[in-house]
Structure 1
Amino acid sequence: MFGRSRAAAAAYDAATVSRNRRFPVYLRPVVLAALLAGAGGAHAELWGFVDAYGVAHFAPRAVDARYRLVHADLAASGPRVPGKRDGADALLTWMEIAPEAKAIVPWVREAARTHGVDAELLTAVIAVESGFRREAVSSRGAIGLMQITADTGDRYGTAAERRRPAAERLLDARTNILTGARMLADLTRRYGHIELALAAWNAGEGTVRRHGGLPRLAETRAHVHLVLELYWALLQRSQSQRATSLALG
């Protein structure tokens, strides 16, 4: 069991100290490394959530529905594709001050509460897909913050939303985010894994089905890698503000 390993025990001790200091030491890279080592290596999966008492729970698998993937084994994904952003650091720095990123926070939180998708994951998808540009339209016809096509917008739109043309309503930030949250929640339920849900988002469900899992497409793997990297970084930041102690599953 993850919780019985020497590395995990050391991480738990560090977290106990952190609770007394009112600072979550487990969020420091050295303790994250210990957690991952206890899970079976630096590229293992790590799942977690913060409960109502401020205790951060981590485990090498989803123990129950409260757990969310916070670190995935993407070592096999290969290098990032040229032309993609270099990584999450620049995005995180920019998001701290960008008014367009801050402006959508209420809608992201609403969508997260309504559809059970982490706000950090929605934010990561928006950052990578559109860079928070509400009126972005791709050469393939993907629209708005979460880059949703008109067909997909109709598939995941409510009856009230579908009274307006998809090409028009998806330019509305709130509608776009709510539609994207419904889609991401549906894909995650069906595939059972955020990594595959993001792959289906990027490459299409048919492509994931044909490949029998994560497609060996460089662009898709780069996209999934960057979204998960940014998601993890955002989750670290938000949990560092909420968590007061640590429990290992």
Structure 2
Amino acid sequence: MRLFRLLCGLSFVCAAGLAHADVYGYIDEAGNAHFAAERLDERYQLFLQGDASFDSSKLSAPRAAASAAAATAPAWLTQHPALRKYEPLLEAAAQEYAIDLPLLKAVMAAESGFNADAVSPKGAIGLMQVMPATAERYGLQTDRKKTVEQKLADPKTNIRLAARYLRDLMHRFSGELALVLASYNAGEGAVEKYRNQVPPYPETRNYVKLVTQFYRVFQPAQAAAAAPEQQPRRVFLTIPGRANMPAPQTQQY
């Protein structure tokens, strides 16, 4: 049933014209990969078009990073050392809340680039960029020892809360993946405001595109093909439109 819901969700994404998203990127002098759902400036080059192979060898890079440019882009994602570190927590949360493991990985990649210390300008915290207000809805409370924000910084707590939230969004939107991802980014209230469609926010639409593409990369066949020889550095993901993004809109269950 879980696989059926995800397949239905992917079908919805395709129908909405969001699954075949182009991904642009470049590798900087330090060997870090930068990804975006549109060309932000002259450094960004198209290296993933629609359903084409995800290949970072198409990226131009300074000579100092030439060896990094030779790695396939799946390796930057699937072989990232931080991802391997948190994989047991992801697997446990995926099993506990019946969420597809590749989906959890894709959300983590898009949200934080596997950085457990990430904090967004709007206060989203940790690997899965969970908002404190969302955590409080699920019973996480400040106590004498730690605040909600400090508790959310714990990778296990962060991943479990995100998985639980994604499970509830799956139920709420009948497994339609585009709506689940849009809700995770903008809040379920925003999706319902637009009559259960992806809101017309640039950040949200680009977010759905990116996570959908990364979800494909983390599928077992793609992940197995990733080159393990080179150890990737941190992945930076740029989602346009954040400056104009409304505050997340949520509703109580």
Q: 2:182 is matched with which residue?
A: 199
1:1-249 equivalent positions in 2, closer than 5 A: 49=3, 62=4, 69-70=9-10, 72-73=13-14, 76-77=17-18, 80-82=37-39, 92-157=74-139, 164-192=146-174, 193-212=176-195, 213-237=197-221
Do the aligned partners of residues 238 and 155 (structure 1) sit closer, same or farther apart at CA in structure 2, a change above 3 Å counting?
farther
Q: Structure 1: which amino acid aligns with 2:188?
A: E
Partner-residue secondary structure (3-state), 1:76: coil
Identify if the C-alpha distance between structure 1 residues 68 and 166 changes in structure 2 by more than 3 Å, giving closer, same or farther.
farther
Q: Which runs of 5+ in 2 are unaligned?
A: 23-36, 49-53, 57-72, 226-253
TM-score (normalizing by structure 1) = 0.62
Q: Matched residues in 1 for 2:144 and 2:160: separation?
A: 13
Q: Secondary structure at the match of 2:170?
A: helix
Confirm or deny: 8 A CA contact 1:70 1:232 kept in the other structure.
Answer: no
Distance 2:96 2:222 in 1: 19
Mean CA deviation greater in 73-82 or 192-201: 73-82
Cα deviation for residue 160 of structure 1 reads 11
Count of residue pairs the alignment pairs up: 181
Q: State the alpha-carbon separation in 2 of the partners of residues 185 and 89 from structure 1.
A: 31
Q: Which amino acid aligns with 2:110?
A: V
Offset, 1:81: 4.1
Q: Which has the larger radius of gyration?
A: 1
Amino acid of the residue matched to residue 209 of structure 1?
E
In structure 1, list runs of 5 or more residues that go unmatched. 1-46, 50-61, 242-249
CA displacement 1:89-125 (0-9 Å, x = unmatched): 5552213432111000000000001001011100000
The 1:48–1:83 alpha-carbon spacing in structure 2 relative to 1, beyond 3 Å, is farther
**Bigger helix share:** 1
